[in-house]
Amino acid sequence: MGRPYTGADYTTSAYQLRVGDLRRGGVIRKGRTVRATITWADGGPTLNIESTWTDREQSLSLSFRLGEESWTQRIALQTSPSPLQGELLYFICPRSGKTCRKLYRAYHSHGFYHRTAFGYRLYYPQQASSTYKRADKQLLAAERKLEKLQAKRRTSTYLGQPTRRAVRIAQLQEEAERLEVLRWSPQFMPKAIRHLFPSLL
């Protein structure tokens, strides 16, 4: 058995499976059955994966080992047409049935699941921040995502329509502008500062 619950888990500290990473790494390949092993850089678990993506079956079979702990799990996959080209691939969470691009192993669970499928809440780091720091952290996260997207290829349209990347960049720019204004608003100032400016209360 896993260790008992000892506190909140976060998306950044939980072990993750990302369907995009598995495809790019060749762990999931269309028309083939692939066997691979994943290890985490922190000396964490070993995960043996057998992926099948054929017309008859789309699934992952996992074999997890961490010290004396071990378990197996099967995760179904689902495809849908991409608005640009090819197909998008999704996990189907074995516990919630939700389709998603990312699964987590948190709270010592014997499986990888959607973020909302745990008995305890799986937090984003920003959700554990104080009210006064939250806008700053959200702004920093938005700016980092913008930098990453803007560093990629410059194409912003495809067949006369904005690409998903271009739309996402525009959304993040609007979000960054909103957060820049919000972080200086009275509700995000400490009480000690707000009381110096009664007109803001």
**Angle between helices 131-150 and 164-182 in degrees, nearest 10:** 150
- pLDDT-based confidence at residue 163 (cuts at 50, 70, 90): confident
165-172: average pLDDT? 82
Residue 59 has pLDDT above 90, yes or no: yes
What pLDDT, on a 0 to 100 scale, did the predictor assign at position 192? 57
pTM exceeds 0.75: no
What pLDDT, on a 0 to 100 scale, did the predictor assign at position 144? 78
- Token pair 């349209």 is found at 157
B/e letters for 141-154, b = 16+ CB within 10 Å, e = fewer, are bbbebbeeeeeeee
What pLDDT, on a 0 to 100 scale, did the predictor assign at position 166? 81
Alpha helices in the chain (DSSP H): 19-24, 131-150, 164-182, 191-194
Residue 158 has pLDDT above 80, yes or no: no
Residue 62 has pLDDT above 50, yes or no: yes
The segment with the largest mean pLDDT, out of 93-97, 139-143, 166-170, is 93-97
Residue 2 has pLDDT above 60, yes or no: no
Sign of CA dihedral 176, 115, 75, 108: positive
Residue 114 has pLDDT above 70, yes or no: yes
- Percent pLDDT > 70 in the chain is 76
The answer to which of 36-40, 63-67, 149-153 has the lowest mean pLDDT is: 149-153
What pLDDT, on a 0 to 100 scale, did the predictor assign at position 90? 92
- pLDDT-based confidence at residue 50 (cuts at 50, 70, 90): very high
Residue 87 has pLDDT above 90, yes or no: no
pLDDT: which is higher, 154 or 53: 53
Q: How far apart are CA 74 and CA 90, in angstroms?
A: 14
What pLDDT, on a 0 to 100 scale, did the predictor assign at position 1? 37
- Token pair 């066997």 is found at 35
